[in-house]
């Protein structure tokens, strides 16, 4: 993997993390209690790993 591809992947990471934080803030504002930080982290982490796996698969061809 070269540096340009690594930088492109790094730029994709903040979007799901920001979405998870915004979702957590919305649920807290609505007064809903639960394991929201863990769920949001799992969703964001899964998204990031999926993006990295797709990029690695494309670049390995």
Question: Residue 53 has what pLDDT?
Answer: 82
pLDDT at 12 over 80: no
Residue closest to 10 by CA, chosen among 51, 42, 59: 51
For residue 61, pLDDT beyond 70: no
What pLDDT shows up at residue 13? 64
Predicted local confidence at residue 32, as pLDDT: 78
Question: What letters, b where the CB count within 10 A reaches 16 and e where it falls short, cover 29-39?
Answer: eeeeeeebeee
Global pTM value: 0.43
């Amino acid at each position: 993997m070269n540096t340009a591809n690594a930088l492109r992947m790094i730029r994709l990471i903040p979007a799901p993390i920001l979405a998870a934080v915004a979702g957590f803030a919305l649920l807290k504002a609505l007064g809903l209690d639960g394991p929201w930080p863990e769920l949001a982290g799992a969703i964001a982490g899964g998204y990031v790993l999926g993006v990295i796996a797709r990029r690695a698969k494309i670049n390995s061809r």
